A and B are shown apart, each in its own frame.
Chain A
Amino acid sequence: MQTIAELFDLSGQSALVTGGGIGIGQAISLRLAEAGAGIMITDINLEAANQTVEMIKASGGKAQAIQADASSATDAKRTAQATIDTFGKLDILVNNAGIYPVSPFMETSETLWDRVLDLNLKGTFLYTQAIAKVMIKADQGGKIINMASVDGIRPTGLVAHYNASKGGVIMLTKAMALELAPHRILVNAVAPGGILTPGTCQTGDEMQKVTGKSLEQMAVDIGQRIPLGRMGEPEEVANVVLFLTSAAANYITGEIIVVDGGYLLS
């Protein structure tokens, strides 16, 4: 029987985190590195990715940055290979990169729709397929964690394209879990509620333009809809990702863990 410390020890494993430069992806990278995993941080923003690497190295962890687009099939293959070249193996994939531009449904262009679906949904498919191929070849199983959202379960307004992408991520998670189970590749998702990140701060500005509400008023509105009365921190999502990547979750696959301070209850 493994001790609790052993359950959460990822030493000798390596993880690829998309969009690891800032926000939730950065917090996930820091947590998995603390648990001992070597981290390949991919981001379209190489400067941000490098900053996360510096933070990890400063606390004694192992990490490397690579510029890559999470919606590109060739980048999926390239980053998988880079992870193997750097760390010798690939045990964990976190499909975190995602965008949530605000746009009223009647004004949403096909181009915006495609951009959101290509990254949030198709990117998750492409990266999982490319990385699972490597995992199947190595025959040691693996863990894949997708970033869903409470918006994939209940719509909030002004982000129909985003709602559709994350609803798709939830069912994609279950479908891939079913098909990859024979290879002992476990696929799960985390569905965050309102989390304070650079991305959501920008969303606040965009919402303000569309709704005319002040940021202060929006914060009050949001707080009132969250039973725990506050937005979450990126670390609180990262802690749940750590659980799913750990041996503590070895009998869990196809599951969506909601991390929303109770938002979906209200």
Chain B
Amino acid sequence: MTTPSIAELFDLSGKGAIVTGGGMGIGQAICYRLSEAGASVMVADVNMDAANQTVDEIKNRGGKAQAIEANAASAADAKKVVAATVEAFGSIDILVNNAGIYPLLPVMRVEEALFDKVISVNLKGSFLFAQTTAEAMINAGKGGKIINLASVDGLHPNGNATPYNASKGGVIMLTKALALELAPHKILVNAVAPGSIMTPGTKNVAASALEAGLTIEQLSKSFTGRIPLERAGQPDDIARAVLFMASAAADYTTGDILLVDGGYLLS
């Protein structure tokens, strides 16, 4: 085995990537890092304005990207996005299941419709996009990388986030199950589990939770309460970990859940 150089390990030139929810927050940071590494990025989001902004910024920096309106919870949209990616970039090598929602509400006030919505975007969406993308990867016969966004909340429950906790616990086991079944096709499936990260989403959730009657104390406890490194993370902290998983530096790792939480789960 000839050993690739460090620069070669992290070079994604010629690769096509799909990032769901790439319009803002963590997904946007992931799009920027994959693009910096040389990948062409399909930015899929329900919010087309946001997706277009990510694409414009990538193009400003000299990268290649395209925006597509898609709901991560829709099987039809998964097919549409995969077809568009193959069409635009010639191949699909990396999928990042990033789109996710995390409404905060005490469990006794969670209605069935809300439960269904969280599970269908966070869990079923990851399944649908992984299956559709893996089909294209298997047909191409070159293997690939699938990276799911889990969460520390999938390992340890966060208060007032019951559907979310359950969805991310599901994402963790889905990641391992897909890794096991897709390994013969050289498709590696891993997850990154962020702790508290400052994104537009966490800011919105904080605002709406306050409106719903949660106190500031309850909120700050659920967000940055006990982090040994004493800071919330930035979207790029997660994007770096996703870049690692997408790179050749992680070619013997599959079914792993990489925690990026500033030590939160230790405390």
Contacts and interface: CB of A to CB of B under 8 A. Distances in A.
B252 A177 contact: no
Contacts of B236: 1
B266 A174 contact: yes
B254 A227 contact: yes
Contact of A8 (B6, B188, B259): B6
B9 A239 contact: yes
Interface stretch (B71-79, B90-98, B242-250): B242-250
A211 interface: no
Point out which of B5, B228, B263 has the most chain A C-beta atoms below 10 A from its C-beta.
Answer: B263
Contact of B183 (A184, A248, A255, A262): A262
A264 B183 CA distance: 13
Interface size grouping (class) on chain A: 35 or more
Interface residues of B, number: 47
A1 B236 CA distance: 9
A229 B241 CA distance: 25
Contacts of B240: 7, 248-249
A54 interface: no
B184 A178 contact: no
A236 B251 CA distance: 7
A51 interface: no
B228 A181 contact: yes
A258 B36 contact: no
B6 A242 contact: yes
Contact of B180 (A4, A34, A266): A266
Contacts of B250: 239-240, 243
B113 interface: no
A257 interface: yes
Highest count of chain A CB atoms <10 Å: which of B3, B5, B237, B265:
B3
B228 A250 contact: no
Contact of A4 (B37, B184, B234, B253): B37
A242 B248 CA distance: 12
A253 B255 contact: no
Contact of B263 (A227, A235, A254, A265): A254
A253 B244 contact: no
Nearest to A247: B240
A228 B190 CA distance: 14
A197 to B, nearest CB: 14
B11 to A, nearest CB: 9
A206 interface: no
B228 A251 contact: no
A31 interface: yes
A228 B145 CA distance: 13
A253 B6 contact: no
A5 interface: yes
B81 to A, nearest CB: 26
B157 interface: no
Given A31-B6, A178-B267, A227-B179, A257 B258 contact: yes
B189 to A, nearest CB: 9
Interface string A1-12: 101110110000
Contact of A178 (B9, B252, B258, B266): B266
A84 interface: no
Given A227-B180, A235-B3, A252-B259, 9 more contacts: A174-B266, A178-B263, A182-B230, A228-B254, A243-B250, A249-B244, A253-B229, A253-B263, A254-B228
Interface of B: 1, 3, 5-7, 9-10, 33, 36-37, 176, 179-180, 183-184, 186, 188, 195, 228-230, 233-234, 236-237, 240-241, 243-244, 248-256, 258-263, 265-267
17 contacts: A4-B36, A34-B5, A181-B229, A182-B228, A227-B179, A232-B252, A235-B3, A236-B252, A243-B249, A249-B241, A251-B261, A253-B229, A257-B258, A258-B253, A258-B256, A260-B252, A265-B179
Q: Which 9 A-B pairs have the closest CB atoms?
A: A227-B183, A181-B228, A251-B237, A239-B249, A236-B252, A248-B240, A265-B180, A178-B266, A232-B252
